Amino acid sequence: MTGIAELKLGNETIAIISISGTWSIYEKHPHAEEFIETILSKPSIQRVDLKFVDLKSWDSALINFLIRILDSCKSKNLTIDIDNVPTGIRRLIELSKTSPVRTTSPVSQRKPTIFEFVGRVGLLVFFSLKTFLGFVGKLLTGIVFFVRGKVKIRSREFALMLQDVGVKALPIVFLISFLVGLIIAFVSVLQLSQFGANIYVADLVGIAMMREMGCIMTGIIMSGRTGAAFAATIGTMMVNDEVDALQTAGFSIINFLALPRVIALTLMMPLLCIFSSFIGILGGLCTAVSATDLTIVRYCTQTAKAVCLNDFFVGIVKSCFFGFFIAAIGCQKGLQCRHSAEDVGLTTTTAVVTSITAIIIMDAIFAVIFSLLGM
Amino acid sequence: MMPKVSVKNLNMDYDNYVVMRNLSFDVQQGEIFLIIGQSGCGKSTLLKYLLGLKPVSHKKIFYDGKDINSMINLPGFYGEKIGVLYQGGALWSSMTLAENVALPLETYTSLNGKEIEEIVALKLSLVGLKGFENFYPSQISGGMQKRAGLARAIALDPEILFFDEPSAGLDSVSAKRLDDLILELKESFGITVVIVTHDLASIFAIGTRAIYLDIESKTITAMGTPHELLMSSNDKNIIAFLSRGTKIT
């Protein structure tokens, strides 16, 4: 037997709601709205009586039903007697009424207009950029002090960090770079073979990997791997009060947490970029040799002819900047994490997205600069 | 006598909320001073202000009569002047217990490796963790992490020790053990202790003086010994807070 509620009119001025059966949130039960509607549609009703007949069991479903009825009666100044309500239910209703209600809200609930929205986003971007530049400034100061020997980095942790951001990243960098080289060569072969210019596959792959793809692909891999790890580690430290503990033990957060990471990644990125470029060329070689009549020696000779030292340095310079900014963004986002686990996830995602965006923007800027410099 | 810590007309906010206003109190040398109040009243935020982790206006918080803003950047303020035990211990998870305790010693003292090792062993044995030097925080229980955090907090023999909810998450036996340890440190080293707590057993067991932060009026509504607060206060919130499950004779 499910929950039953019946409305009877005692006389012109009294409405009686009879409640019986088993009230459960898992089963169908009457809704208060229908009763409220009927009661309010009869203006002659002055009082509502609650009658409990053969009530088997109840849960939140009945409490919610009664609270809705009570609130509606109260708002329309109708008398309602709750003396008949079983003690347990009455206590819970009273408890829900005595709970204090927070009246102030920290943020406006009003939906912002389009102008407010644009303004807010503009201000957010401006202040985020300002904060980030301040952070970069502190990092650069830290690097200067480190070079002058005024800031010390724990050598064991630093060595582990170098291993973590460098050596341990080699397999994934190898895989991605090899496949990228392979794909570039494959697409090139398809086009160039129509003109009998297969030999230029080596030029395309070599220059693309050395100048652009080597550092960009390594940057993207390191954003997703190392930048995210930095943000998550520091974010978790924020959640666990470890960062506060460092600060109250007198350590500079920048020098202790961010500096080793930034230096490690800035040092490792060029090496990874060189590795990535050569592996990409190897990938290109595999495709070219297997899909065309080129030999290994010819491919290598052509690559050496096509790629000049400038291309090599362009990749190295870019990867240094990419490494610095990936680490800086990861650390800064981690330090902005608030005290919740959800925030760690959000921080990590933001760090990756921001790093990848920054890499693409920086690459575009570098393209213009190197073009102006004739490199 | 000049108070060890002095707070004058401090207003606190958190995310645009005014959490507390007009807070004024003094912490005297060698006492165990409690900051109590309901959850969400701003006790931990007040602790952040006292520790200099949140920016504060000039002439609001003083240590030995000197403005906190003139002290936080001085070498020795953190570590030598103040030590902190955070709610979960806040041990640096990538380091062993010994490394956690040794780090401040390596950074701020001229002790050699062997001396540091000895002091680390001493501090860990003071908190009952002798032999746990090479354990990582993840390999020990929550109560042990707190004790290790305490060993780190007292590594540089600070003058003032701050505790954020020291008994939170501990069973009553571990909590009592930590209370006894706090009392012992206060008696033996003459350390001034400031504790943020809402643990009744600790409040009555170790508190010298307490302030009650009232969530409704957003200020301090009572100050005195925990017993004074309970016996002489007319404030229903304080009575409700302090009398839960406790019979005072």
**Which residue on chain A is closest to B53 by alpha carbon?**
A244
- Is there a domain that residue B126 lies in? yes
Tell if the CB–CB gap between A248 and B17 is shorter than 8 Å. no
The number of C-beta contacts closer than 8 angstroms across A and B is 56
**Where does a domain end: B111, B137, B157?**
B157
Same domain for A335 and A225: yes
Tell if the CB–CB gap between A249 and B103 is shorter than 8 Å. yes
Q: Number of folded domains in chain B? A: 2
Say if A105 is an interface residue toward chain B (CB within 8 Å). no
Say if A293 is an interface residue toward chain B (CB within 8 Å). no
Same domain for A175 and A87: no
Tell if the CB–CB gap between A106 and B90 is shorter than 8 Å. no
**Which residue on chain A is closest to B76 by alpha carbon?**
A250
Q: Which of A95, A92, A40, A101 is nearest to A69 (CA)?
A: A40
At CB < 8 A and 24+ separation, what contacts does B236-242 make? B237/B38, B237/B212, B238/B212, B238/B214, B241/B36, B241/B37, B241/B38, B241/B198, B241/B212, B242/B200, B242/B203
- Is there a domain that residue A135 lies in? no
Structural domain span for residue B11: 1-81+159-249
Q: How far is the CA of A351 from the CAs of A138, A223, A235, A239, A326, in angstroms?
A: 19, 8, 11, 17, 8
Chain B residue numbers touching A237 (CB-CB < 8 A): 92-93
Model confidence band, residue A211 (pLDDT cutoffs 50, 70, 90): very high
Check pLDDT > 60 for residue A102.
no
Same domain for A279 and A171: yes
Same domain for A159 and A306: yes
Chain A residue numbers touching B77 (CB-CB < 8 A): 250
Tell if the CB–CB gap between B78 and A104 is shorter than 8 Å. no
Same domain for B106 and B133: yes
- Is there a domain that residue A115 lies in? no
Say if A108 is an interface residue toward chain B (CB within 8 Å). no
Tell if the CB–CB gap between B17 and A104 is shorter than 8 Å. yes
In this complex, the residue of B48, B86, B108 whose CB is nearest that of residue A245 is B86
Chain A residue numbers touching B164 (CB-CB < 8 A): 241
Same domain for B63 and B165: yes
* DSSP structure string for B117-180: HHHHHHHHHHTT-TT-TT--GGGS-HHHHHHHHHHHHTTT--SEEEEESTTTT--HHHHHHHHH
Q: What is the CATH number of the domain that holds B33?
A: 3.40.50.300
On average, the pLDDT of chain A sits at 90
**Which residue on chain A is closest to B82 by alpha carbon?**
A248
- Beta-bridge partner residues of B66: B63
Same domain for A216 and A68: no
Say if A98 is an interface residue toward chain B (CB within 8 Å). no
Tell if the CB–CB gap between B75 and A245 is shorter than 8 Å. no
**Where does a domain end: B107, B124, B157?**
B157
**Where does a domain end: B157, B180, B209?**
B157
Q: How far is the CA of B162 from the CAs of A245, B7, B71, B103, in angstroms?
A: 12, 15, 17, 19
Same domain for A161 and A69: no
Cβ-Cβ contacts under 8 Å for A337 (sequence gap 6 or more): A231, A234, A235, A238, A239, A343, A344, A347
Same domain for B133 and B54: no
| Mean pLDDT, residues A10-31 | 85
Q: Is the sign of the CA dihedral B186, B190, B191, B193 positive or negative?
A: positive
Choose the weakest-confidence range: A262-266, A325-329, B157-161: B157-161
Residue A5: what are its φ and ψ, rounded to 5°? Answer: -135, 130
Return the structure tokens found at B198.
């809402």
For A161-205, what is each residue's pLDDT tens digit? 999 999 999 999 999 999 999 999 999 999 998 888 889 999 999
Same domain for B60 and B174: yes
Structural domain span for residue A197: 151-372
Give which of B15, B17, B78 to mutate to test A binding, by max A Cβ within 10 Å. B78
**Which residue on chain B is closest to A105 by alpha carbon?**
B17
User: What is the ipTM, given to two decimal places?
Assistant: 0.83
- Is there a domain that residue B137 lies in? yes
How close does chain A come to B199, measured CA to CA in Å?
A: 21
- Is there a domain that residue B124 lies in? yes
In this complex, the residue of A104, A241, A251 whose CB is nearest that of residue B86 is A241
**Which residue on chain A is closest to B162 by alpha carbon?**
A248
Same domain for B185 and B65: yes
- Is there a domain that residue A129 lies in? no
Model confidence band, residue A82 (pLDDT cutoffs 50, 70, 90): confident
Say if A155 is an interface residue toward chain B (CB within 8 Å). no
**Which residue on chain B is closest to A245 by alpha carbon?**
B90
Chain A residue numbers touching B87 (CB-CB < 8 A): 241
What is the separation of C-alpha A85 from the centre of its chain, rounded to a whole number of angstroms?
50
- Is there a domain that residue B88 lies in? no
Same domain for B153 and B164: no
The percentage of chain A sitting over the pLDDT mark of 70, rounded to a whole number, equals: 97
Q: What is the CATH number of the domain that holds A67?
A: 3.30.750.24
- Is there a domain that residue B87 lies in? no
**Which residue on chain A is closest to B51 by alpha carbon?**
A248
In this complex, the residue of A106, A237, A248 whose CB is nearest that of residue B78 is A248
Same domain for A300 and A208: yes
- Is there a domain that residue A146 lies in? no
Chain B residue numbers touching A242 (CB-CB < 8 A): 90-93
Same domain for A283 and A171: yes
Check pLDDT > 90 for residue A44.
no
Q: Which residues of A20-59 are buried (b: 16+ CB within 10 A; e: fewer)?
A: bbbbbeeeebbebeebbeebeeeeebeebbbeeeebeebe
**Which residue on chain B is closest to A160 by alpha carbon?**
B94
Across chain B, how many H-helices and E-strands are there? 8, 10
Tell if the CB–CB gap between A250 and B92 is shorter than 8 Å. no
How close does chain B come to A322, measured CA to CA in Å?
A: 27
**Which residue on chain B is closest to A239 by alpha carbon?**
B90
For B16-73, what is each residue's pLDDT tens digit? 778 889 999 999 999 999 999 888 888 888 999 999 989 888 889 999 999 999 988 8
Tell if the CB–CB gap between A241 and B88 is shorter than 8 Å. yes
**Where does a domain end: A81, A98, A115?**
A98
Tell if the CB–CB gap between B75 and A250 is shorter than 8 Å. yes
How close does chain B come to A332, measured CA to CA in Å?
A: 17
Same domain for B163 and B221: yes
Tell if the CB–CB gap between B53 and A244 is shorter than 8 Å. yes
What pLDDT is attached to residue A25? 87
B28: helix, strand or coil: coil
- Is there a domain that residue A18 lies in? yes
- Is there a domain that residue A121 lies in? no
Same domain for A159 and A75: no
Same domain for A180 and A68: no
Same domain for B219 and B207: yes
Q: Which of B241, B174, B187, B224 is nearest to B30 (CA)?
A: B187
In this complex, the residue of A104, A157, A250 whose CB is nearest that of residue B104 is A250
Q: Is the sign of the CA dihedral A232, A237, A241, A247 positive or negative?
A: negative
Same domain for B11 and B62: yes
- Is there a domain that residue A103 lies in? no
Same domain for A179 and A318: yes
- Is there a domain that residue A340 lies in? yes
Same domain for B73 and B163: yes
Same domain for A167 and A255: yes
| Mean pLDDT, residues A79-91 | 84
For A122-131, what is each residue's pLDDT tens digit? 999 999 999 9
A237: helix, strand or coil: helix
Say if A246 is an interface residue toward chain B (CB within 8 Å). yes
Same domain for B126 and B228: no
Give which of B87, B92, B138, B157 to mutate to test A binding, by max A Cβ within 10 Å. B92
Say if A248 is an interface residue toward chain B (CB within 8 Å). yes
User: pLDDT of chain B along its 249 residues, tens only?
Assistant: 789 999 999 998 876 778 889 999 999 999 999 999 888 888 888 999 999 989 888 889 999 999 999 988 887 788 788 999 998 889 998 899 999 999 989 888 888 989 999 999 999 998 888 889 999 999 998 888 988 999 999 888 899 999 998 888 788 888 888 888 888 888 888 899 999 988 888 888 889 999 999 888 888 888 999 888 888 777 778 888 887 755 444
Q: Number of folded domains in chain A? A: 2
How close does chain A come to B2, measured CA to CA in Å?
A: 24
